[in-house]
Amino acid sequence: MLRRHRDLLLGVLATAAVFALFAWLSRGGYPGGPDKCLRLGDCYCEATGPGIAAQPANAWSNLGFVVIGLLVLADGARHRNAASPARIEVDRRYSRLYGAIAVFLGLGSFAFHGSLRAWGGYVDVQSMHAFLAFLLAYDLARIHGWRWGTFIGLFSALLAMFSAMIALIPPQHGRTLFAVFVGVVIIVEAAVSFPVLRPWATARIDPRRMPWFWAGLGSFAAAFAIWNVSRTGGVWCDSGSLLQGHALWHLLTAVSVGCFYCYFRNEAST
């Protein structure tokens, strides 16, 4: 039984260990220099305080990502359909990596909103780009029929490229860079679903999987809209409230991460 649920157990233990580390680091204040958001005057609205979570709502709302990631890891223990064309359904390594990245999204964002330190902001950005790198590598692997070795090589190369660009781009342009990456992922995903966009590889995927895609894209779009109006100085910004728009952004994007997993898992060929 323990072996079957090993991924879930490791995920829980790793999450507990990281939060124990945060608790230890926060004693007397997190170490390190302040995050650039303090210099730029936009730390996503919520007022800061002492303790493990400098911004309580913005930090603890990241548990949504952790829960989704642990659910994905738990799902990996079920009986898998070997006849499915969805590699994330057949090969547990894909769901294991996806679940781990989802947990990383939550822990990375908590590192930022909990500490408001530069290292926390870097970990947060890395987690987001790890997720985008997975989506892009996975979609390209689906289009070209690449196996795990090629996929993981591409994923690693994309993450390294994203990391290098983060280091080279000035902080004030970081959001623009992230938006460009999101746009590229959406374009490649469209190429997966509409063969006319990729005449060199015309295999089509059954549209029955699309509701999960639209649910994920819709929740992300709603989250992005809330993210914009709830930033510091925005019309929905109330720095003293526990009901933070940025916290809702975290919860809705966690929902989209779960929807995209279901979308990938239910893939079917035509």
DSSP assignment of 195-223, as one string?
Answer: GGG-TT----B-GGGHHHHHHHHHHHHHH
**pLDDT at residue 190 tops 90:** no
User: Which is nearest to 62 in space by CA: 96, 31, 22?
Assistant: 22
Q: How confident is the model at residue 13 (pLDDT cuts 50, 70, 90)?
A: very high
Q: How many residues are there in the chain?
A: 270
**pLDDT at residue 269 tops 60:** no
Residue percentage of the chain with pLDDT more than 70: 87
Note the pTM of the prediction, 2 decimals: 0.91
**pLDDT at residue 114 tops 60:** yes
Average pLDDT over residues 192-204: 68
Structural contact between residues 258 and 103, judged by C-beta atoms closer than 8 angstroms: no
Q: What is the 3-state composition of the chain as percent helix, strand, coil, each rounded to the nearest 5?
A: 70, 0, 30
Of the listed ranges 6-10, 23-27, 92-96, 171-175, the one predicted with least confidence: 171-175
Average pLDDT over residues 207-212: 71
Instruction: Give residue 177's pLDDT.
Output: 67
Q: How many CA atoms lie within 13 A of 121 on its CB side?
A: 19
**pLDDT at residue 172 tops 60:** no
- How many whole angstroms separate alpha carbon 79 and alpha carbon 270? 24
For residue 254, what are its two tokens? 């966690």
> At CA 199, angle to CA 194 and CA 202, rounded to 5?
60
Instruction: Give residue 192's pLDDT.
Output: 75
Q: How far apart are the first and last CA of the chain?
A: 37
- How many whole angstroms separate alpha carbon 73 and alpha carbon 106? 15
Instruction: Give residue 142's pLDDT.
Output: 84
Q: How confident is the model at residue 270 (pLDDT cuts 50, 70, 90)?
A: very low
**pLDDT at residue 87 tops 80:** yes
Q: How confident is the model at residue 175 (pLDDT cuts 50, 70, 90)?
A: low
* Burial track 139-156 (b if 16+ CB lie within 10 A, e otherwise): bbbbbeebeeeebbebbe
Average pLDDT over residues 51-65: 97
Q: How confident is the model at residue 268 (pLDDT cuts 50, 70, 90)?
A: low
Q: How confident is the model at residue 208 (pLDDT cuts 50, 70, 90)?
A: low
Instruction: Give residue 78's pLDDT.
Output: 76
Please, which residues have CB within 8 angstroms of residue 114's CB and are 6 or more apart in sequence? Answer: 22, 26, 30, 52, 53, 54, 55, 59, 120
Longest dimension (CA), the chain: 59
**pLDDT at residue 145 tops 90:** no
Q: If you average pLDDT over each of 33-37, 59-63, 126-130, which comes out highest?
A: 59-63
